[in-house]
A and B are shown apart, each in its own frame.
Chain A
Amino acid sequence: MGIVSPLGMGLTETRAALLNGQRRLGRLTVFEVAADKSMPVGQVAALPEAGDLPRTHVLARLAAAQAMAGCEQAVDAVIMGVTTGGMFLTEKHLKAGHGNPEDYKWHGAGTVAEDLAALYHCRGPALTISTACSSGSVAVKIGLEMIRSGKAGRVLVGGVDSLCRLTYYGFLSLQLIDPQGAAPFARNRRGMTVAEGAAMLLLAGDEPEKALAEIRGGGLSCDAYHPTAPHPEGLGALAAMRAALADAEIDPRQVDYVNLHGTGTPDNDRAEAKAVRALFGDHLPLLSSIKGACGHSLAASGAIEAVVAAMTLQDGLVPANTGCVEVDPELAIRPVQTPLHVPIGTVLSNSFGFGGNNAALVLAKPGQAGREGCGQQAEAFSILGSACITGRGDTEKTTAALRQGVTCTGMISAEGPELKLPARDIRRLKRLPRLTLSLAQAAHQDAEGSKPPQAVFFGTGWGALSDTHAFLTRLYATNEQFPSPTDFTGSVHNAPAGQIAMWFKAQGPNLTTTGGDYSFEQALLAAELCAAGLDDPILVAGADEALGALSGLFDPSVRAAKELSDGGGALVLTRSAATAGWPRLGLRFYANAGQSAEVMAEALAALGCGEKLSERYGLILAGIPAGGRAQGESQLAELSALSGFKGPVVDYRKWIGEFASASAVAAVLAVKWLEQGTVPGVLWGGADLTLDSKGILLLGLGPFVTVVELFGS
């Protein structure tokens, strides 16, 4: 385990700070703020400078180095919860009007996981979860599922966020910051304290004797209620805690201590207290939030609290609910007032975020009988419906254009029917949430007669660029006086998925993943890991918007393209047994090309068909991002040479444009062609292809290699 927070660097300092009940909230010095906007923060002291690396990445490297100390073996996956990535530097460069893309190379939230994956020779996926303040806990849950499913043996999981203007002024504009510093569950609480930090845990399935603690289970839910406010009765929080206990196969009475989310905002603490009372009744376990001690480090908080929970299990140190002098009597809970030493066997750790994204984890002393993973390859999903949007228009217009050999690049018309939703529903939504909501509705409509999706898995390479840009533009234009709460709410990566959840009342897991050109594949991977036990349909989508001011700065493939393009795809999927024989899709391979010279041979081995590739698949859709064409083309050539694949290959980005989640569109096109049984030959300059019973392979090429297979009914 590793931890860096205002409480200190590493486990020893953290333990000492918690033992003494210290409150480490103080003055913000990493950027200047006007006197009347100055609020206490949880800042990590004396963070070393590291060249052009943003604070987030520095924090992540420090925590990861602690967690990985003494470990020689490479990890199979890196899973990080991150919300703002390199925003701290991006803000500075944008304000100064810098136009050199090199200044923005660490902008993406996904670059933290990619950086750690390179440092620790991770051969598998570098997955980034961006579900606002629950990101760190969700990352731990996903890591747990990777091990349970047998997809990975060792996984580095964690969460990280640094202080930046976007979140500081954003929470300020929402009046969610307590000028006196957070006092969770206090009668006079007025809000949270924004903080920074990182925490990492190395999860392993095979060495229980060395374990510091055991992740016994995790539960996810979505309020599907409001973009920022929690459900007033804490129903989503309750659902996540219940799901975590069920996943860990324990009942509430076995929980000794709950590390509460407890941000200090009036609404969160009230809703959480209600949920805790509903779950435990009169048998309340020990309760405390550490956010009065170290503030709320957003995506890092869930991971930090998981590490603290593990420390609690080790030596029985129950942290105090620092900052709260007089508990709010309305809440009817009594958080721990001073640090305690009592034997603790099981801890529940809560994290709740914007978009009603909730996660809860159960940690226990190692050595107890944990739930065994099934260790089998998950079955593919059946496809109930699908829809895409491109610069050419909706699914019908896109497929019709491609049939004629007409490209679908370019930007979606804001005036066209694709983004037209009821005016009142979308008055606060800018481009990406509109695009995503349209896609979700079209995919649901296409899944005729199916129930609305109950869980949402959404991948986006760059998130809501329009909202982010609007927020920063207004912030700077008003001399940092009038940040927009609306734009801040819209700027978080998980805002579009939250909108989908509200639309469908989807209260199951609600995950947003972000990792450049692999964001859609990451959503699919997260769906495969979290869909066990979900009978209702789920929605898996990928979308990105183009914005002239930012897309080219952030995305090398957009820079390499002749024009800006945007779009996305959405699929309604299920694992219900009743849909056997439907068209289906599954993610079969996800590996870090930088860590293996034989990555294409490994991909073929994962498909289990080597030279028989042409017998099983009629078509390859190759995703070769323009920013790295040489690498992608050589990977494709290697695959063809190794497999002797004889069918057509469509270099699909040439047809639908360069945007991070273009593969979501390609997946939907594959579904439509499988339904028709033919693929237009004009796409490769040959005769139309009849698929018969053959499937389609969707390849993601470049620094990572992903393989999705799709089959018809």
Chain B
Amino acid sequence: MEVLLQELKSKIIEALNLPDITPADFKEDEQLVGGPLGIDSIDVLEMVMMIEKEYGVIIDNKELGQKVFATLKTLAAYIAENSPRLRN
């Protein structure tokens, strides 16, 4: 899980072009969207694409998205649980 969390941080920074943010700025239990990182609804959709592409995990509705993208930790947990790639 720790490896996945670290990996996600850099992948999110890259996908969302967060130029002034380093992996150390991510607090894993902090609100991910609408929090201090400035991540908004368009970013969520960009993350959806990245997660499907990188991990084969599909998040295709808002209700699920709100749960999954609550914090970095919930996101990592959902990916770990549902990714066919990580299971293999």
Task: Please report A residues at the B interface, Cβ cutoff 8 Å.
Answer: 173-175, 190, 226-229, 266, 423-424, 427-428, 478, 481-486, 489
Contacts and interface: CB of A to CB of B under 8 A. Distances in A.
Contacts, number: 47
Which 3 pairs across A and B sit closest by C-beta, in order of nearness? A485-B45, A423-B19, A427-B17
Interface in B31-86: 38, 40-43, 45-46, 48-49, 52-53, 60-62
A415 to B, nearest CB: 14
A287 B60 CA distance: 31
B16 interface: yes
Dominant SS among interface residues on chain B: helix
A494 to B, nearest CB: 16
Contacts of B19: 423-424, 427
B20 interface: yes
Dominant SS among interface residues on chain A: loop
B4 interface: no
A30 to B, nearest CB: 24
Interface of B: 16-20, 38, 40-43, 45-46, 48-49, 52-53, 60-62
Contacts of A483: 49
A514 B61 CA distance: 35
Contact of A478 (B45, B53, B61): B53
Contacts of B48: 175
A481 B50 CA distance: 11
A481 B41 CA distance: 20
Contacts of A423: 19-20
Contact of A173 (B17, B20, B43, B45): B45
Contact of A485 (B46, B52, B53): B46
B46 A486 contact: yes
Contact of A489 (B42, B49, B60): B42
16 contacts: A175-B48, A175-B61, A228-B41, A228-B42, A229-B41, A423-B19, A424-B19, A424-B20, A427-B16, A427-B17, A427-B18, A427-B19, A428-B16, A482-B49, A486-B42, A486-B46
A424 B62 contact: no
Given A427-B18, A482-B49, 4 more contacts: A423-B20, A424-B38, A482-B53, A486-B46
Contacts of B41: 226, 228-229
Contacts of A484: 46, 49
B17 A175 contact: no
Contacts of B53: 478, 481-482
A175 B60 contact: yes
A482 B54 CA distance: 11
Contacts of A478: 53
A266 B62 contact: yes
B48 to A, nearest CB: 7
B49 A428 contact: no
A365 to B, nearest CB: 42
A174 to B, nearest CB: 6
A173 B62 contact: no
Contact of A175 (B18, B40, B62): B62
A609 to B, nearest CB: 52
B45 A227 contact: no
A483 B45 CA distance: 10
